[in-house]
Structures are given as structure tokens and as C-alpha cells.
Amino acid sequence: MAINIQNVTLKISAGEPRQILGDPIPQIAFSGRSNVGKSSLINSLLGRKSLARVSSAPGKTITINFYDVDKKLYLVDLPGYGFAKRSPEDMRKFSALTDGYFTSNKNIDRLKLVIQLVDSRIGPTKDDEMMLAFLKELNIPYCVIATKVDKLNATERKKNLEAIRSHPLIEGNEVIPFSALKGEGKEDLWKTIFHYVKA
């Protein structure tokens, strides 16, 4: 199955669990803490400058954005977590949406892979570890993207990538170094995505 990755639209920006899509199209979801570079990665993958909004104010939008790629694949941008300044109301909204997607979603079998983003400068945070443990518990396949690698020098890069790769919740899963700025990692990530959607 050939997928035209130029043919992409924002299908829905779901703010309520009932808006979560369940049509019979495979989904690949992106997860990570706020500001880790999720929107930038999606724009870079799709060769767009501003399809996904890149935020200067982290954690602003609490929605699940479904990008329709050529009617054959949904890229699902999950709300970023770990944003300290969230109000109790926003926290409730975040939990309702995330639960709606992962735990009370009768179409969760459409989800083929979670792409978990980790900042290459920091490594997995406590929140990232919670997310990884949650995915493992649910038996959802995941790979890890080490974001913003352009900010590391060669020594840091080697050391940090090794630390990420050998993390107990990551070991054995694919880790892809990524730079939205330079385009590094794009091809590898598409290859992985196509593998999981069997395209």
C-alpha cells in the first residue's frame, strides 16, 4: 500500500473523549511531555512548516489531534504531560482525554504503535517513565525518539543515547535519534511507522 504523505489534513482536534476517532484506519500515536518537540516532529515528518502548532507557551492546548494521512493512516498527537503550571480543571481534562484514548477506547486495536518522545538532553523523566510503564502494562508496542539531538555535541550524544537505550523500560525497543531542525531521523521513523501499519 503506497501512502502519499503530502495528502494530509487535520481531521479533528478532539477536546472531549467522545470525539476520539474509531474509524477502521490504523493509528500511530505520539506521546511525550510538554515542550519535548512533538509538534515539531510531526511537522518535520510531514514536510510541513506549521501543520501542527509549535508552541512558545508549553502545555496550552489539551486536545488529541488526529492527522489524516492519505485516508490510510492517522497520526495522533496526544496532549503533552508534565506541565507543572496546569490548573486543576486542565488536569481533569488531560486525564479524561488520555483515559478516553488508552483505557476506555473500544477501538484501541486501531492503535499500532506509540512513538514516545524523550528529550535527548535530559533522558527519561519520572513522567516519561510512568508513561513507558503504562504502555508496557497495556502491551502497546512503543518506540522511543530522542529529540533535539542537534543540541548535543558528539560526546554528549554518545553518552546520552547509550543511557536512553539501556534504560530498563526502553531496552529492546527501537530508539531513533531525531532532529526536527536538521531532519535527522525522519527516514528511520517513517520506515518504522510503515512497518507497524504494514504499508
SS3 115: strand
Q: Is residue 186 involved in binding ligand GTP (CB under 6 A)?
A: no
CB-based burial, 80-100: b 16+ in 10 Å, e otherwise: bbbbeebeeeeeebbeebbeb
Minimum distance of ligand GTP from residue 82's CB (angstroms): 9
Please state, in angstroms and as integers, the Cα–Cα distance from residue 81 to each residue in 71, 85, 122, 143, 191, following that order: 28, 11, 15, 18, 27
Please tell me the distance from the alpha carbon of residue 14 to that of residue 22, in angstroms, as a whole number. 12
Show the site string, 42-61: x = touches ligand GTP by CB under 6 A, - = not.
------------xx--xx--
Question: 64 with 101: CB under 8 angstroms?
Answer: yes
**Which of the stretches 34-42, 106-114, 121-129, 158-166 binds ligand GTP when contact is defined by CB under 6 A?**
34-42
**How many residues interact with ligand GTP (rule CB under 6 A)?**
20
145: left (phi over 0), alpha (psi -120 to 50) or beta: beta
Taking phi over 0 as left and psi of -120 to 50 as alpha, with beta for the rest, 35 belongs to: left
- Which residue stretch of 12-20, 85-93, 146-154, 167-175 sits at the interface with ligand GTP (rule: CB under 6 A)? 146-154
Shortest distance, CB of residue 171 to Mg ion, whole angstroms? Answer: 28
Say whether 183 sits in a helix, a strand or coil.
coil
Q: Considering beta carbons, is residue 41 or 170 the nearer one to ligand GTP? A: 41
Single-letter amino acid code for the residue at 17: P
Nearer to ligand GTP among residue 122 and residue 199 (C-beta): 122
Residue nearest Mg ion, CB atom distance: 39
Is residue 44 near Mg ion by the rule CB under 5 A? no
What is the per-residue binding string for ligand GTP in 69-108, x denoting contact by CB under 6 A? Answer: -----------x----------------------------
- Give the chain's radius of gyration (CA, Å): 16
In this chain, which stretch among 10-18, 85-93, 145-153, 169-177 interacts with ligand GTP, using CB under 6 A? 145-153
Contact residues for ligand GTP (CB under 6 A)?
32, 34-40, 54-55, 58-59, 80, 147-148, 150-151, 179-181
